[in-house]
Copies of this chain bind each other. A is one copy, B any other.
Amino acid sequence: MTKARTEARTRRRGGELLRSIHAAVLAELAEVGLGRLTMEGIARRAGTAKTSLYRRWASPHDVLLDAIHDEHPEEAASPAADDLRGDLLRALQQLVAWMQTPTAAAAAAIVAERKRYPELAAALYERVFDARGGRFTLTVLRHYAAHGQIDARRITPVVADIGEALVLKHALDADAPPSDEQLAAIVDEAILPAIGLGLDRPVTAR
**Chain B residue nearest to A197 in the complex (CB):** B193
B158 touching A185, Cβ below 8 Å: yes
Partner of A162, one of B114, B166, B196: B166
CB contacts (< 8 Å) of A190 on chain B: these are 158-159, 162, 190, 194
**What bracket does the count of chain A residues touching chain B fall in?**
35 or more
Q: What copy number does this chain have within its complex? A: 2
A166 touching B161, Cβ below 8 Å: yes
Interface flag for A24 (CB, 8 Å): no
Interface flag for A19 (CB, 8 Å): no
CB contacts (< 8 Å) of A189 on chain B: these are 154, 156, 158-159, 194
Per the bound structure, the CA–CA distance linking A177 and B112 in Å amounts to 15
Partner of A172, one of B111, B157, B170, B193: B111
